[in-house]
Amino acid sequence: MSDLNAAPKAAADGAEPWTRREIFQQATTLRATQALLVAEQGAIEAFVAPLLAKPDLRIVLAGAGTSAFIGECLAATLAQATGRRVEAVPTTDMVSAPELYLEAGTPTLLVSFGRSGNSPESIAAIDLADARVADVHHLIITCNADGALAKRRGDDACVVVLPEATHDRGFAMTSSFSAMTYAALAIFSGIAALGDRNERIAQAVEQVLADTETAMAALAARGFERVVYLGSGPFQGLAREAALKLLELTDGGLVTIHDSTLGFRHGPKTIVNDRTLVVAFLSNDPLTRAYDLDLIAELRADKVAGAVLAVSAQDIAGETLRVHGLETAADSDLLFPYIVPAQMFALHASLDRGLTPDTPNKAGTVSRVVKGVRIHSTGA
């Protein structure tokens, strides 16, 4: 990536944005999240284990926006880890059509993710589940000890409040996304088991943080008009999160889409022109990776895209952002270092447009905690 050599930009007023600080603290907050989970391991496992013993348990991963994408990143992995049915259902879907997403007779563990814990849909989703599902329990993972979700109490609930630093002050969720994702992965795949991998994950995040800011700033300065994020398996959810970060931090100034590696050819590929950046998150799974590599080779051979960037834990020819130390890791572990360059690119695309990353929406119509949502009764 020798052409990516421009110096990073500072905010217009010279101050370091909270968004940048929160991107850069992620290795620290991942370690702190693991330490917190170890300290609360007994209570968490005492709550979760009896539920997982139910063969017909349904686990629903719920949140809005970025918090919903955590579920998309993890659902298949957690289903494999637990041997139970695990589904990602955004609270925004659940609240607007509860009859489609809540099953009255199925034992359900509703896992609610929330940075602030105050989103109207998050609160309403819990209330709807309580009213409509006969056997429902709640695992709440939040970053705000003072939020409505954190105040949920009762024998049917377990509340995990992550370290205060993860309660991001910036508009776009960054360290809150990675910390809540890590917490859910650890709780359902084994706190001790993931703890054995925690330091390698944190070190990989540190490496990406140290190696990529200048490159991402230079890439942002190239003035792309369209950006595509691609990934398979857990990386399809990550691609969606990456696309949202860029849309949010550029105040809608860049056209962004996401897709699966194989799905991209089926129509969405028409977005590619010479002002398009395509970023592909590469799997470590040999079969999945083969499909990823085929598409990257095809896009480069087409010579239409402005740039095609691979994010990979293994060596690959061409323009690549390399993540070291996780060459044989599970794809779920790669979620954490892989999201960093996307966050960094979005940050510098925001700065390059003269925006304030912590409050990028000039019109003031979008807020850090969603406002203006009216919760209607199901009879309305």
The verdict on residue 365 lying in a domain is no
- Check residue 128 and give its pLDDT: 97
pTM: 0.93
| Pairwise CA distance, residues 114 & 277, whole Å | 31
Structural contact between residues 142 and 113, judged by C-beta atoms closer than 8 angstroms = yes
Nearest to 85 by CA among 49, 109, 104: 109
Could you tell me the CA-to-CA distances from 318 to 1, 204, 278, 321 in Å, in that order?
A: 8, 21, 13, 10
| Pairwise CA distance, residues 77 & 73, whole Å | 8
User: Does residue 206 share a domain with residue 181?
Assistant: no
Last residue of a domain, one of 189, 206, 228: 189
What are the tens digits of pLDDT across the range 114-127?
999 998 999 999 99
**What is the DSSP annotation of 8-56?**
PPPPTTSPPPHHHHHHHTHHHHHHHHHHHHHHTHHHHHHHHHHHHT-TT
What are the tens digits of pLDDT across the range 165-174?
999 999 999 9
Sequence-distant (≥ 6) Cβ neighbours of residue 370 within 8 angstroms: 64, 65, 119, 120, 121
What are the tens digits of pLDDT across the range 188-209?
999 999 999 999 999 999 999 9
User: Does residue 204 share a domain with residue 181?
Assistant: no
Last residue of a domain, one of 139, 156, 189: 189
The verdict on residue 364 lying in a domain is no
**Structural domain boundaries enclosing 218:** 198-352
| Pairwise CA distance, residues 54 & 138, whole Å | 15
Nearest to 280 by CA among 301, 253, 306, 260: 260
Q: Tell me the mean pLDDT in the region 368-375.
A: 70
User: Does residue 280 share a domain with residue 178?
Assistant: no
Q: Which residue type does 108 have? A: T
State the total domains in the chain: 2
C-alpha 315: how far from chain center: 24
Please report where in the chains the tokens 């020798």 appear, as a residue. 2
User: Does residue 124 share a domain with residue 245?
Assistant: no
User: What CATH number does residue 109 fall under?
Assistant: 3.40.50.10490
What are the tens digits of pLDDT across the range 51-78?
999 999 999 999 999 999 999 999 999 9
User: Does residue 206 share a domain with residue 174?
Assistant: no
User: Does residue 178 share a domain with residue 299?
Assistant: no
User: Does residue 203 share a domain with residue 180?
Assistant: no
Structural contact between residues 123 and 148, judged by C-beta atoms closer than 8 angstroms = yes
pLDDT at position 370 over 70: no
What are the tens digits of pLDDT across the range 284-305?
999 999 999 999 999 999 999 9
User: Does residue 144 share a domain with residue 210?
Assistant: no
The verdict on residue 3 lying in a domain is no
Tokens at 335, concatenated: 């979620």
User: Does residue 58 share a domain with residue 131?
Assistant: yes
